[in-house]
Structure formats: C-alpha cells, structure tokens
C-alpha cells in the first residue's frame, strides 16, 4: 500500500474513532439541560448515558465478527452510517424515550465501527511503520476521552444540547464517501458466522453490562443486579466452552494461551477501570466542588489531553523498537501515581496549580499505554485474526470502563454524596484510592510477569526480522 493510502486510512479511522469515543462522554455534560427540556427523572437521565454504553459494550465482538465475515471496509461503513443516522435521531428526539432508543442505536453503530478501526489500520501499515500509526490513533482516542467535557460544555454554552448530537452528522457524512473510496476491503479467516458463539457471547455480555450499569442506581446487592450478572457469567462460561468446538470460532480461545495477549488485556481492563472511573468523578469535582462551568472544567482538562497527544506517538515508536511491556507497566504506574496525588490533595478549595502535576501524569500514563497495548495485541495473533483480537480487546476495555464507573460509584455512595462540596470530597477520595489499588496491582503484574511471545505474524508475513518481545 502506498504512503498516501496509509495516511488516508489513518485519517479516516482516527476521525471515526474520535467521533465515537467523544460521544461516549460528551452527553454527561448535557444531562442537566436534557432534564430541564424534558422534565426527565433520574432514571431516564441515567439511561440516556447507559443505553449507549450497554449496546456498545455488548456488540463489540459482534461488530468484529461481522467485519470478518462480510468485509471490514463494508461493515465499517455500515457502522458509521448507523451511528450518523442515530445521532440525527437523538438530536430530533421529542422525549426521553426516543432519545434513549436513539442512543442505543448509536451504540450499536459505534460497536460495529470501533474494532474495525484498529483492524483496518493494522492492515494498511507495514510492521516497521505501524508504531507511529498506532501512536497517532491512540492519541486521538485519548484526546476524545479528555475532550468530552470541553466539547460538551462549549456546545451547550454556545448553542444547546441538541448540537452535541448534530455535530456528529456532518463529520459522518464526510467520512462515509471517503471511507468507501479510500479504504481497502479485507475479510477474516472464516467463511461463516459462529451463530451459537454470537448468541452466547452477546447474551453473556448483555447480562454482565446491564448488571454493572444498573448497580449504579440500586447497588450491587439488588436482585435486579445479581440475577443478570449471574446469568451473564453463566453464558460467558458456556461461550468459553463452545468456542474451541466451533468450526468458525467467533473468538479463538487460543488467543489467551499467548501470555502477551492475556496480560495486555488484563492490563487494559485495569487501565480503563481506573481511567473512566476517575474521569467520571473528576469532571464533576471540577464543577460541583471547585465551581467551574462545564466549559471551564473542559478547558482545565486540556493539560491532561495535551500530554496524551504528545506522549502517545512517541510511545508508539519506542515500543515498536523496545517492546510493549515496559510502557504498559509505566502507563499503569503513572496513572496510579496521578490518582494518588489527586486523592491526597482533594479538598473543597484545591487550587488548579495543585492539579497540574497529576493531570500531566494521568495524560502521560494514557499516552504511554494505548499504542503499546494495541501493538502487543496485534503482535500476539496472525494478521488475518486482527479483527477478532481487536473485538476482544475493545470489549474487555469497555467492560473495564463500565466496571470502573460502577465500583467507584458504589464506593462514592458509601462514603459521600452530592449534597455539598464536603460530602462530595468525602466520597471521591476513597473511590480514587480504589482506582489506585487496581492500577498499582496490575502495573506490578505487568512488570514482573515474563511474556512468552511468538515471533509476530506481521513481521513474518512481511519478511522482516522478528520484533522484540512485548
């Protein structure tokens, strides 16, 4: 593939990833405006966010499987089209019921497109240039996470809440024809869908994600949480038993026999647990406790964003040369240190200058982690299995984010509340310490666990020398 085709692919998939990831967070800033417009209750507001999260997390593996079967470019375009149309439907929704339905459809489109961004990128770039591409792709994803509150606050301040959905529409309409002309088509290793695996895997993820999401409002002990969690775990167990027997497995279980693949995905689970769980509360802390507007809170988080943008491409290049494992451990450790500083300095009058160092550490941790993690996953599988590996990794990461928000919200509710700044700080501090514990434990696991990684398939396919062990 020519250099211009490589750049074109990088631009298309990165912009699509940015749009999808941004939408995962930007809506939280608009909830007060939506409540005022529709007179919505707390449950309706929660499901405005959770409907997207639920369909997105549940269908990520399905999106990767559909791409392998029917064509990755084709399904990327289909997912992007669904996401764009559902964004317009959300902007036009006359009540919360239709808004929640549109958000669920948005999540399904995002789930189809997201894992294919990594697969298309991996196929477009040879292994010797893939590190830089993964660094840019990762940086844009990280920027989208951190810019959610800024974009949401700016749009609501300058326009109204409808425009947090309308802004997706022109971007999607521009990307669709470019994707149709600029991306190469490819397929996965199997000629047909693993329908039993699809049903078991999707059903299991639905039970687990629904239980985690619902626990945020009713607690982990409620029957309506325990029952779907138990059913989901049972179905995932049946999925794991079925896949080795399947003629065309949706997710080859042999992936997890490769230690680098297993440890990288466990590390991703921990990173998203700590990252999304902490961002969920830190964006609120800046507004509720430190009295910033949504726009000002987003602007102050640009230090976090900017550090990610700088670090991620560099980490992508260096990890391709020296291996992924030290960067994964350093990224987790940096994120843990950032949350440690935030937990120890949290108060109702914390000056912004005190937040600068932990914000830089948090952004640096994200930048150090994302590209090396993607590189390690791709290095652990054969080139034609990149779609399945990407779907599995994205699913595990999303589960980590959902689980992080659910667990940290439970800890927060046990120690604090939204009734005052002091009550909020009383809740956020122990929640942050839980994030520190998870991130620190997995940083240690990555650092001390030797990886037995095969020579990478992309390197063998290109005839180049074996990459360093991740």
Q: Is the predicted pLDDT of residue 33 greater than 90, yes or no?
A: no
Distance (Å, whole) CA 197 – CA 208:
16
For 102-125, how does the pLDDT look when each residue is reduced to its tens digit (9 = 90+)? 999 999 999 899 888 878 887 787
Q: Is the predicted pLDDT of residue 460 greater than 80, yes or no?
A: no
Q: Which residue has the tokens 């996470």?
A: 145
Whole-prediction pTM: 0.77
Is 138 or 227 the better-scoring residue by pLDDT? 227
Which residues have a Cβ under 8 Å from the Cβ of 155 and sit 6 or more positions away? 26, 161, 163, 164, 167
For 158-173, how does the pLDDT look when each residue is reduced to its tens digit (9 = 90+)? 888 888 899 889 989 9
Is 173 or 375 the better-scoring residue by pLDDT? 173
Residue 371 is predicted with a pLDDT of: 81
Residue 190 is predicted with a pLDDT of: 62
Residue 459 is predicted with a pLDDT of: 37
Provide the pLDDT confidence category of residue 62 given band limits of 50, 70 and 90: confident
Q: Which residue has the tokens 């063998």?
A: 460
For 126-135, how does the pLDDT look when each residue is reduced to its tens digit (9 = 90+)? 777 777 777 7
Alpha-carbon distance values, 146 to 26, 140, 357 (Å): 10, 10, 16
CA angle 364, 366, 368 (to 5 degrees): 65
Residue 468 is predicted with a pLDDT of: 36
Residue 179 is predicted with a pLDDT of: 92
Alpha-carbon distance values, 440 to 185, 268, 272, 325, 370 (Å): 41, 13, 13, 15, 17
Contact call for residues 114 and 76 (beta carbons, < 8 A): no
Which residues have a Cβ under 8 Å from the Cβ of 290 and sit 6 or more positions away? 348, 349, 350, 352
| Matching CATH number, 3-194+247-462, of 1.20.1250.20, 2.40.50.140, 3.90.79.10, 3.30.565.10 | 1.20.1250.20
Distance (Å, whole) CA 261 – CA 16:
25
Is 128 or 447 the better-scoring residue by pLDDT? 447
Residue 452 is predicted with a pLDDT of: 57
Contact call for residues 172 and 19 (beta carbons, < 8 A): yes
If you write DSSP's letter for every residue of 209-251 in order, what string do you get? HHHHHHHHHH-TTSHHHHHHHHHHHHHHHHHHHHGGG-SS-SS
Contact call for residues 107 and 51 (beta carbons, < 8 A): yes
Distance (Å, whole) CA 56 – CA 275:
18
Is 156 or 270 the better-scoring residue by pLDDT? 270
- pLDDT (mean) for 403-423: 83
- Percentage of residues in the chain with pLDDT exceeding 90? 27
- Percentage of residues in the chain with pLDDT exceeding 70? 90
Contact call for residues 377 and 261 (beta carbons, < 8 A): yes
For the chain, give the mean pLDDT: 82
Tokens (6 digits) for 77: 């375009």
Contact call for residues 251 and 392 (beta carbons, < 8 A): yes
Domain parsing of the chain, residue ranges: 3-194+247-462, 195-246
Residue 46 is predicted with a pLDDT of: 67
Residue 463 is predicted with a pLDDT of: 34
Q: Is the predicted pLDDT of residue 357 greater than 80, yes or no?
A: yes
């Amino acid at each position: 593939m020519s250099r211009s085709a490589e750049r074109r692919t990088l631009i298309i998939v990165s912009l699509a990833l940015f749009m999808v990831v941004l939408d995962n967070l930007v809506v939280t800033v608009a909830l007060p405006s939506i409540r005022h417009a529709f007179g919505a209750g707390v449950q309706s507001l929660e499901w405005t966010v959770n409907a997207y999260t639920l369909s997105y997390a549940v269908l990520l593996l399905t999106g990767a499987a559909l791409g392998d079967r029917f064509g990755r470019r084709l399904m990327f375009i289909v997912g992007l089209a669904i996401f764009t149309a559902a964004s317009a439907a959300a902007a036009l929704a006359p009540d919360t019921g239709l808004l929640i339905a549109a958000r669920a459809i948005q999540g399904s489109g995002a789930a189809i497109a997201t894992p294919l961004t990594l697969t298309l990128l991996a196929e477009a770039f040879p292994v010797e240039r893939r590190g830089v591409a993964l660094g840019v792709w990762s940086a844009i994803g990280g920027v989208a996470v951190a810019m959610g509150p800024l974009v949401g606050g700016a749009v609501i301040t300058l326009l109204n809440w409808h425009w947090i959905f309308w802004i997706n529409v022109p971007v999607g309409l521009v990307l669709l024809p470019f994707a149709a002309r600029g991306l190469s088509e490819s397929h996965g290793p199997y000629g047909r869908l693993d329908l039993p695996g699809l049903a078991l895997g999707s059903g299991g993820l639905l039970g687990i994600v629904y239980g985690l999401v619902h626990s945020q409002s009713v607690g982990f002990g409620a029957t309506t949480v325990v029952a779907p969690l138990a059913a989901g775990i049972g179905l995932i167990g049946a999925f794991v038993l079925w896949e080795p027997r399947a003629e065309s497995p949706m997710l080859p279980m042999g992936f997890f026999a490769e230690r680098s693949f297993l440890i990288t995905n466990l590390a991703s689970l921990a990173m998203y647990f700590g990252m999304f769980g902490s961002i969920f509360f830190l964006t609120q802390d800046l507004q509720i406790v430190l009295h910033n507007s949504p726009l000002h809170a987003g602007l102050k988080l640009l230090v976090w964003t900017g550090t990610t943008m700088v670090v991620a491409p560099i980490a992508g290049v260096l990890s391709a040369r020296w291996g992924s494992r030290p960067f994964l451990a350093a990224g987790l450790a940096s994120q843990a240190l950032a949350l440690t500083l935030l937990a120890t300095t949290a108060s109702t009058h914390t000056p912004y200058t005190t937040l600068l160092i932990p914000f830089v550490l948090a952004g640096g941790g994200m930048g150090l982690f994302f590209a090396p993690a993607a590189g390690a996953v791709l290095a652990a599988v054969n080139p034609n299995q990149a779609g399945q590996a990407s779907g599995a990794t994205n699913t595990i990461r999303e589960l980590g984010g959902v689980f992080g928000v659910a667990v940290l919200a439970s800890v927060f509710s046990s120690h604090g509340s939204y009734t005052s700044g002091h009550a909020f700080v009383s809740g956020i501090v122990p929640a942050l310490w839980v994030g520190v514990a998870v991130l620190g434990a997995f940083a240690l696991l990555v650092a001390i666990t030797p990886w037995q990684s095969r020579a990478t398939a992309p390197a063998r396919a290109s005839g180049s020398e074996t990459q360093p062990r991740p």
